[in-house]
A and B are shown apart, each in its own frame.
Chain A
């Protein structure tokens, strides 16, 4: 059975393929950052142990300087986000059921994913613009013409052209080409 059919919440079904809100996106981004930090810490520990095994008589964990930590985490985050967005989606987005696509609905290309990742990794508050933007667009979305959509499906999902009239009435949103009447 299709996973789409297993989504029990009617509202969730109707929101699939539409622009995601700031809370889901923030949680997904936080998950990605925590994951990268964990990978970095484990990587540093493993690298220290491996180094000491070959080149030292005692085993100790190295404590890199602050700036180096930040630089390495930043690089790791950029690489991770770029890889995730250009090939599918990051683990955080996967968990939260989100997907980053171009504003025309096509998958994100490498360079656009890279530049978007650089901006996101450098300036986390960029996402906050989505809180006030009429189309839930963060600064990175505006700058690189991307869209973050709800996509709970494990496989690629073609975004809806626009929410149905019933969906608009239910969630109080509108599409740019569908009139709605609110009683």
Chain B
């Protein structure tokens, strides 16, 4: 999905405003300005066309389904009214055809619905970004009673919600575990280094055998190959 909610412009505040104090009419950004902050206008236009076309397709599909349903009911009535020997053959053929059309209409409707939802989401995102860009945030903030908003926030309650002891405990435990692991890793490296040193002094060509057999399964000493240096 296209990420239109994040304007690429670094100065969104400087776009024409909707809340100017002098009650001037806000200026809608030109296509060029819009393209600078929101991507290609061609793409935006194509999404709108997609939305309209998809909506039309959904409508056509719904109408098709309704027609199929009406025809199906009509066939039921015709079967009840007309003699079976005369109506059975043609009505069966029409019903088969209707069944095929119904299946196609359902499939088409599902696809169109998905396409319309996607296109609508994209267009909506563009509209929201455009509206936000048109706002003068400075003036908007001036009009918002920040102090009243903050006064209504239950700061002690928020602080109580934060499990400071848990946070400290978690961080301390993590730090301790990391330190312990680092110490173990250091000793492990010294183990390997000392083993290699001794092996070199003893002029061993084969490395050490550090494998341990699983529970109850004896080691097969005969299967010991050499190291090819």
- Using a CB–CB cutoff of 8 Å, the interface residues on chain A facing chain B are 6-9, 11-12, 15, 17-24, 27, 95-97, 101, 103-106, 131-132, 134-136, 147, 149-150, 152, 158-163, 168, 171-182
Contacts and interface: CB of A to CB of B under 8 A. Distances in A.
B68 to A, nearest CB: 55
Nearest to B202: A132
Contact of A182 (B190, B195, B208, B229): B229
Interface stretch (B15-23, B38-46, B69-77, B214-222): B214-222
B207 A172 contact: yes
A174 B190 CA distance: 18
Contact of B188 (A24, A178, A180): A24
A176 B224 CA distance: 5
B206 interface: yes
B228 interface: yes
B87 interface: no
B185 A9 contact: yes
Contact of A176 (B184, B191, B217, B221): B221
A162 B180 CA distance: 26
Interface residues of B, number: 39
B211 A160 contact: yes
B211 A161 contact: yes
B56 interface: no
A11 B192 CA distance: 11
Q: Name the residue in B181, B192, B212, B217 with the highest tally of chain A Cβ atoms < 10 Å from its Cβ.
A: B212
B124 interface: no
A104 B187 contact: no
A163 B194 contact: no
B227 interface: yes
Given A23-B190, A96-B187, A104 B209 contact: no
Q: Name the residue in B190, B194, B208 with the highest tally of chain A Cβ atoms < 10 Å from its Cβ.
A: B208
Given A23-B191, A97-B184, A168-B207, 7 more contacts: A22-B191, A23-B190, A159-B214, A174-B207, A180-B227, A182-B227, A182-B228
B101 interface: no
B215 A179 contact: no
A18 B212 contact: yes
